[in-house]
A and B are shown apart, each in its own frame.
Chain A
Amino acid sequence: MALNKKKLSALNDLQTIREMIKRHKKNDLAFAALGMFVIASLTITLIVLFLDLVLDGYPKFTLDFFGNFPSRRAARAGILSAWVGSSLVLIVTFFVAVPLGIAAGVYLEEYSKKNWFADIIEINVSNLAGVPSIIYGLLALGLFVYSFGLGQSILTAGLTLALLMLPIVIVSTREAIRAIPVHIREAAYAVGATKWQVVINHIVQYSYGGILTGVIIGMARAIGETAPLITIGALTFIAFLPPSPVTIEPPFLNLEWLNAGFTVLPIQMFNWISRPQHAFHINAAATGAVIIILTALMNGAAIKLRYNIRKKIKW
Chain B
Amino acid sequence: MVTEKNKHNEIVKAESKDLNFFYADGTQALKKINLPVYENKITALIGPSGCGKSTFLRSFNRMHDLYPGNKYEGEIILYPDNTNILDKKVDPIEVRMRISMVFQKPNPFPKSIFENVAYGLRVRGESNKRMLDDKVEDALKGASLWNEVKDRLHDLAFNLSGGQQQRLCIARALATEPEIMLFDEPTSALDPIATVNIEELMSELKKKLSILIVTHNMQQAARISDYTAYMYLGELVEHDDTNKIFTNPSKKETEDYITGKFG
Residues of A near any B CB (own CB < 8 A):
113-114, 181, 183-194, 197, 201-202, 206, 312-314
Mask, B45-83, CB within 8 Å of A = 1, is 000000000000000010100101000000000000000
Our pick among B66, B96, B103, B110 for the contact of A192 (Cβ within 8 Å) is: B96
Report yes or no: B110 in contact with A186, Cβ–Cβ below 8 A.
no
List B contacts of A314 (CB < 8 A): 158
CA distance A190 to B172 in the complex (A): 10
For the complex, is B224 an interface residue (Cβ under 8 Å from A)?
no
Report yes or no: A183 in contact with B103, Cβ–Cβ below 8 A.
yes
List A contacts of B104 (CB < 8 A): 183
Report yes or no: B101 in contact with A190, Cβ–Cβ below 8 A.
yes
CA distance A189 to B99 in the complex (A): 12
Report yes or no: A186 in contact with B103, Cβ–Cβ below 8 A.
yes
Our pick among B100, B108, B156 for the contact of A190 (Cβ within 8 Å) is: B100
CA distance A308 to B124 in the complex (A): 33
A192: shortest Cβ distance to chain B, in Å?
4
Nearest 6 interchain pairs by C-beta: A191-B120, A192-B97, A192-B96, A183-B107, A190-B101, A187-B107
Report yes or no: A192 in contact with B120, Cβ–Cβ below 8 A.
yes
Our pick among A114, A181, A189 for the contact of B96 (Cβ within 8 Å) is: A189
The A-contacting residues of B in range 154-181, CB under 8 angstroms, are: 156, 158, 169, 172-173, 176
- Size of the B side of the interface (Cβ < 8 Å), in residues, is 27
Report yes or no: B123 in contact with A192, Cβ–Cβ below 8 A.
yes
Report yes or no: B158 in contact with A184, Cβ–Cβ below 8 A.
no
B138: shortest Cβ distance to chain A, in Å?
16
B168: shortest Cβ distance to chain A, in Å?
11
For the complex, is B21 an interface residue (Cβ under 8 Å from A)?
no
Report yes or no: B124 in contact with A192, Cβ–Cβ below 8 A.
yes
List B contacts of A186 (CB < 8 A): 63, 66, 103, 107
CA distance A188 to B96 in the complex (A): 10
List A contacts of B196 (CB < 8 A): none
Q: Which residue of chain A is the closest to B175 with respect to CB atoms?
A: A191
CA distance A185 to B63 in the complex (A): 11
Given contacts A192-B120, A201-B119, contact A184 B100 (CB under 8 A): no
Our pick among B63, B156, B158, B172 for the contact of A191 (Cβ within 8 Å) is: B172
Report yes or no: A191 in contact with B173, Cβ–Cβ below 8 A.
yes
CA distance A194 to B93 in the complex (A): 7
24 contacts between A and B (CB under 8 A): A183-B104, A183-B107, A184-B109, A186-B103, A187-B103, A187-B107, A187-B108, A187-B169, A188-B109, A188-B119, A189-B66, A190-B103, A190-B173, A191-B123, A192-B93, A192-B96, A192-B97, A193-B123, A201-B122, A202-B109, A312-B110, A313-B110, A313-B158, A314-B158
CA distance A181 to B107 in the complex (A): 9
A258: shortest Cβ distance to chain B, in Å?
39
Report yes or no: A187 in contact with B97, Cβ–Cβ below 8 A.
no
CA distance A201 to B122 in the complex (A): 10
List A contacts of B110 (CB < 8 A): 184, 206, 312-313
A139: shortest Cβ distance to chain B, in Å?
35
B214: shortest Cβ distance to chain A, in Å?
15
CA distance A193 to B61 in the complex (A): 12
CA distance A197 to B121 in the complex (A): 12
For the complex, is B206 an interface residue (Cβ under 8 Å from A)?
no
Q: Which residue of chain B is the closest to A115 with respect to CB atoms?
A: B68
Most buried by A among B107, B122, B124: B107
Given contacts A183-B105, A191-B100, A202-B109, contact A197 B123 (CB under 8 A): yes
A11: shortest Cβ distance to chain B, in Å?
44
Report yes or no: A191 in contact with B68, Cβ–Cβ below 8 A.
no
Q: Which residue of chain A is the closest to B104 with respect to CB atoms?
A: A183
